[in-house]
Structure 1
Amino acid sequence: MTKSVREVCLTLLMLLMVFSPAMAQKKKSKNKTPDKPKLVIGIVVDQMRYDYLYRYWDKYSANGFKRLLAEGFNFRNNHYNYVPTYTGPGHASIYTGTTPSMHGIVGNDWYNRTTGRNIYCAEDKSVATVGSSSKAGEMSPVNMIASTITDELKLATNQKSKVIGLSLKDRGAILPAGHAANAAYWFDGSNGNMITSTYYMKELPAWVQAFNNQKLPDQYLSQPWNTLLPIDQYTESAADDQTYEGTFAGEAKPVFPHNIPAYRGKTFDLLRSIPAGNTYTKDFAKEAIKGENLGKNNVTDFLAVSFSTPDYIGHQFGPNSIEVQDNYLRLDLDLADLLKFIDEQLGKENVLVFLTADHGAAHNPTYLQQLRIPAGTTNNSIMVDSLKKHLNQKFGKADWVIKFMNQQIYLDHALIEKKQVNLVDLQEECARFVQRFPGVLRSMTADALMRSNWQRGVGMLMENGYMAHRSGDVLVALQPGWYENYGRAQVKGTSHGSSWTYDTHIPLLWYGWQIPAGESSVKTEIIDIAPSLAAWLRIQEPNGNMGRALLEYVR
């Protein structure tokens, strides 16, 4: 072997020694199990307009909403893509990745034509209460007909993942947790406990019993509700005493301080309507993480948390009240405490958090009218009574209309068939008639919805919220700034449910595991959350999914 050949062989040997470990390491990295978060925490704030993130910005602490925005990713243009925008449909849509037209939760309640009565979205008379002697636990997800991202996580891990849902409202805990959850817990105002149903278990776990034994509602309801800051610093809100704000039972005026011990009565239900309700929910979430060892398994766990209190306070006082602002300043502190707890227990890098809302809220029409902004309320009682009289004249005397709810008219199909009246003709006559009332923008028949495919606008939102055997025969959309009123002299606080941006535009924040700091103004929809989680967790999307994964924007 010549010298030159030996030199070439030696060089090749050295190169092989250098690159072989790197190649082996590269091959090893390709076969590495994909990283996944140890725990996903889904946070839904009940009745949070998007502008609340910034309206109270100067008063927020550094470690709550501001931390989520500074260290997480903010989708600034996130909307609901259906009506009606209510709590039940909102929670179901977030977790199923689809709309009421597919998952079936078309309202908090709807009319059941088979039984001839209203049905509540989470009711289930086949199960019993666990943790109370009341009927507040006769609940389950049985009425939701699509799977959730939490269901898909259970399927993907062969039931090894733990899934827990919790909220003061039963529907806020049950629908996010899904059908296959380990547990869902909600608040029973009759005894002040967190309870569940036999759908999940026969007895409350020891850690839940220990939490209930602390009697925290008694402590929270023993103190007046005063402002967190000096009241003159609430410059982002209207003055404290407004005629369009509601009062607690027994209260003369809707002003601070609210003497909660004097108004609480014999139950614990008032906890829902004061900021301490958020704190109580946060306390229970922390106990759930510890009690169930969430995030300590070799698979991803999921905790679905819904803060219900903002909805109760918003409905009573309205979005321009000091009460709503004070509630959000205190919720900000609760979120800061929860994030700190996550840091200590699991580490931010191991937990994927998202925060969104189930709907927004409208400005009170009286408040808008004071500013000469178009607004008003429709008197539904007068509208329905007038419609009934009109149909009697047109088609003969009969009880054609059996229900008006969720901004929808339900007709008696059995009666219509018996009288041999054309259903579509009756629907179209109803739609034409209600359009004459003040505040009605448009009305649409069920027949038109089933024969159309709307791509945008109010028609699309109605279509996405419509399910044939659960929705009404005629759907009504009100003008911007208007909402329903059933004969009251003045509506108090706020409402929601419309197709307008104050109800549809809500936050979507991602934080923690592999989430960079940033923001995007791309148009996103609430149904995009579930497929995004599926992509991050590398599992199947919910079976009715209609959304898209947002990973490319987060990168």
Structure 2
Amino acid sequence: MNKILFLLLAVTALQVQSQVPESKKPKLVIGIVVDQMRQEYLYRFSNKFGNNGFKRLMRDGFYLKNAHYNYAPTVTGPGHASVFTGSTPAIHGIISNDWYDKNQKKEVNCVNDPNQKAVGNPEGRGGVSPARLLSSTITDELKLFTQKKAKVIGISLKDRGAVLPAGHMANGAYWYDSKTGKFISSTYYMTSLPAWVEKFNQLNLPDKYLSQELNTLLPINQYVESGPDDTPYENKIGGKERPTYPYNLKELRKKNGDYDLLAMTPFADDYLTEMAKAAIAGEELGADEWTDFLTLSYSSTDIIGHAMGPNSVEVQDVYLRLDKNIEDLLNTLDQKVGKDNYILFLTADHAVADVAQYLKDNRVPAGYFNQANVKATLNEYLQRYFPGRDIIEAIDGEQVFFNQEAFQRDPKSSGIELMVATELVMNFLMAQDGVANVYSESLIRQSAYDEGGIKGMVVRGYHPKRSGDLIIVLEPGWYSSSRIQGTTHGSPYRYDTNVPVMFYGAGIKKGFSVKYHPITDIAPTVSVLLNIKFPNGSTGQPIEELFEE
């Protein structure tokens, strides 16, 4: 009797399940990357956030408290590529923002493409494309799934922040032209700007932003979550004697590259938000039966963060203002697309280190690694063993590139000489202050992709055709710089890897997880939400907690 009852219940459950319609796909997906956002900012600044920006995403969406980049270097180009490909530099090939090209014998940019030209300003930086990105993105996969009927638009202050997330098949990617204060594109996407972009550019919003005085959003005495406004750890803007509020932008723009100055202010985020709203309307995103995709990358957070450091009033202020931008964008999506018709995710391309000098002054181990000085002394050291030969071709991005031609004099001994040179250079570098470890190409290529620890971070960030012969990993708190003001990022340590990941919108349950997730899990998760295939180089997995009942 119990068996019969069990079978009847099972059949009934299957019948009910078969009657439940598949949840409808969203009309629009919005992927937001905040450049240089630490996970801790969500908590440190939370008392000053409004209720309908970041807090709305955390309250009504699902967020990860323990999401990390699983490779190094943690910088902008690889970060954007990894979020949208679900893979790492070892696979998608974007190993840094710029890297030394071993074939061309020069440094190249991650999105530079000499076959393309600017659209919107002939003299602007528009010779760019995603050509160096070696794997597909989630945006590419959406285009493939819909037979290119889906619209994909990428927008950022930085060209790489627009181009890499939008992928290879985008309808358009747009970035800020600091010469004109307008958004431009590339011939990779179009021959002329769409009418809606031209109309938006004609508003001349940068002139409006740069004609006013910039002060803190709240009374400055309320910024208790940050350090004092005047410290020796911050860079001064040209024309200012001290790095302090207020900033008279109308006067300062004359000494700071005119429209260049906008990127150093929170108003750049306002500008990007307005451009996003214009794109939603102009491209009619989310208006038909095909799911569209809008990618946004907020960059002024990174530019201000580099100059001032994570403990500055300026950094806190830019996030309080960004909170209002997120609220504005969500309200626009509610009205134009519909609350139940879109999915939004927000993350960052990397986090950031504390200012090394600030740590040193507070007796925390930290320091500065000067690559130029190291290269000069290393070449001098190698002359003892290889007189008359230039063994080191370049040291770029904490990677050492050997001059392979220097070992081709005698084919019989070239391999042995290279092994000797490798051991000599590794020993020399390990003796330098701030160097934690040095990894050789042979060691990295023999290691498994899922290797643990710091070594695994290096392995997943290493591309054999593009990366150097040796990879330098610095001690925690150390980074390459010759200045004690400001800070940077790029290390494999948690302060650079831990970033927010938040999902919000149609069908997204409320909650959070403290389980470790690599950033490469974002793209597969979006794939499952859209029922499309994973990007072709993806190594991540869907975030199970998001789908658990």
Is TM (by shorter chain) over 0.5? yes
Identify if the C-alpha distance between structure 1 residues 66 and 424 changes in structure 2 by more than 3 Å, giving closer, same or farther. same
Aligned to 1:67: 56
Aligned to 1:425: 420
Residues in 2 aligned to 1:413 and 1:23: alpha-carbon distance in whole angstroms: 67
Residues in 2 aligned to 1:44 and 1:419: alpha-carbon distance in whole angstroms: 51
TM-score when normalising by structure 2: 0.94
Identify if the C-alpha distance between structure 1 residues 27 and 384 changes in structure 2 by more than 3 Å, giving closer, same or farther. closer
Deviations along 1:103-136, whole A, 9 cap, x unmatched? 0000001111211111100001111111002141
Residues in 2 aligned to 1:444 and 1:83: alpha-carbon distance in whole angstroms: 13
Aligned to 2:3: none
Deviations along 1:294-340, whole A, 9 cap, x unmatched? 01111110000000110000000000000000000000011111111
Structure 2 residue 380 is the aligned partner of structure 1 residue 385: no
Aligned to 2:5: none
Q: Mean Cα displacement is larger for which, 367-376 or 312-321?
A: 367-376
Equivalent residues in 2 for 1:94-243, closer than 5 Å = 94-243=83-232
2:472 aligned residue (476, 480, 497): 476
Answer yes or no: is the 8 Å Cα contact 2:508–2:546 preserved in 1.
no
Deviations along 1:28-75, whole A, 9 cap, x unmatched? 746x56521110000000000110000101111111111110001111
Shift of 1:431: 1.5
Structure 2 residue 307 is the aligned partner of structure 1 residue 316: yes
Structure 2 residue 512 is the aligned partner of structure 1 residue 505: no
3-state DSSP class of the match of 2:514? Answer: strand
Residues in 1 aligned to 2:142 and 2:490: alpha-carbon distance in whole angstroms: 30
Percent of aligned pairs with the same amino acid: 45
Aligned to 1:536: 529
Answer yes or no: is the 8 Å Cα contact 1:191–1:267 preserved in 2.
no
Answer yes or no: is the 8 Å Cα contact 2:353–2:487 preserved in 1.
yes
Q: Mean Cα displacement is larger for which, 220-229 or 318-327?
A: 220-229
Aligned to 1:56: 45
Answer yes or no: is the 8 Å Cα contact 2:62–2:546 preserved in 1.
no
Residues in 1 aligned to 2:224 and 2:29: alpha-carbon distance in whole angstroms: 36
3-state DSSP class of the match of 2:63? Answer: strand
TM-score when normalising by structure 1: 0.93
Q: Mean Cα displacement is larger for which, 385-394 or 309-318?
A: 385-394
Identify if the C-alpha distance between structure 1 residues 77 and 27 changes in structure 2 by more than 3 Å, giving closer, same or farther. closer
Aligned to 1:259: 248
1:518 aligned residue (511, 522, 529): 511
Q: Gapped runs of 5+ residues in structure 1? A: 1-21
Aligned to 2:8: none
Aligned residues: 530
Residues in 2 aligned to 1:548 and 1:27: alpha-carbon distance in whole angstroms: 26
Shift of 1:392: 1.4
Identify if the C-alpha distance between structure 1 residues 24 and 112 changes in structure 2 by more than 3 Å, giving closer, same or farther. closer
Q: What is the alpha-carbon root mean square deviation over aligned residues?
A: 1.7
- Residue identity in the other structure for 1:455: E
Residues in 1 aligned to 2:265 and 2:195: alpha-carbon distance in whole angstroms: 28
- Residue identity in the other structure for 1:329: L
Shift of 1:346: 1.6
Deviations along 1:423-481, whole A, 9 cap, x unmatched? 33322321121010111111111111111226211100000010111111110011111
Residues in 1 aligned to 2:17 and 2:328: alpha-carbon distance in whole angstroms: 42
- Bigger-Rg structure (1/2): 1
2:435 aligned residue (434, 440, 463): 440
Residues in 2 aligned to 1:470 and 1:25: alpha-carbon distance in whole angstroms: 55
Residues in 2 aligned to 1:459 and 1:35: alpha-carbon distance in whole angstroms: 43
Structure 2 residue 264 is the aligned partner of structure 1 residue 281: no
Residues in 2 aligned to 1:341 and 1:172: alpha-carbon distance in whole angstroms: 22
2:69 aligned residue (75, 80, 83): 80
Aligned to 1:458: 454
Residues in 2 aligned to 1:136 and 1:345: alpha-carbon distance in whole angstroms: 32
3-state DSSP class of the match of 2:384? Answer: helix
Aligned to 1:16: none
Answer yes or no: is the 8 Å Cα contact 1:518–1:554 preserved in 2.
no
Residues in 2 aligned to 1:67 and 1:27: alpha-carbon distance in whole angstroms: 32
Runs of 4+ in 1 over 6 A off after TM superposition: 22-25
Residues in 1 aligned to 2:403 and 2:327: alpha-carbon distance in whole angstroms: 52
Answer yes or no: is the 8 Å Cα contact 1:105–1:144 preserved in 2.
yes
Residues in 2 aligned to 1:183 and 1:542: alpha-carbon distance in whole angstroms: 20
- Residue identity in the other structure for 2:67: N
Aligned to 1:9: none
Residues in 2 aligned to 1:524 and 1:27: alpha-carbon distance in whole angstroms: 31
Residues in 1 aligned to 2:420 and 2:150: alpha-carbon distance in whole angstroms: 52
Q: Mean Cα displacement is larger for which, 436-445 or 375-384?
A: 375-384
- Residue identity in the other structure for 2:421: L
Q: Gapped runs of 5+ residues in structure 2? A: 1-11
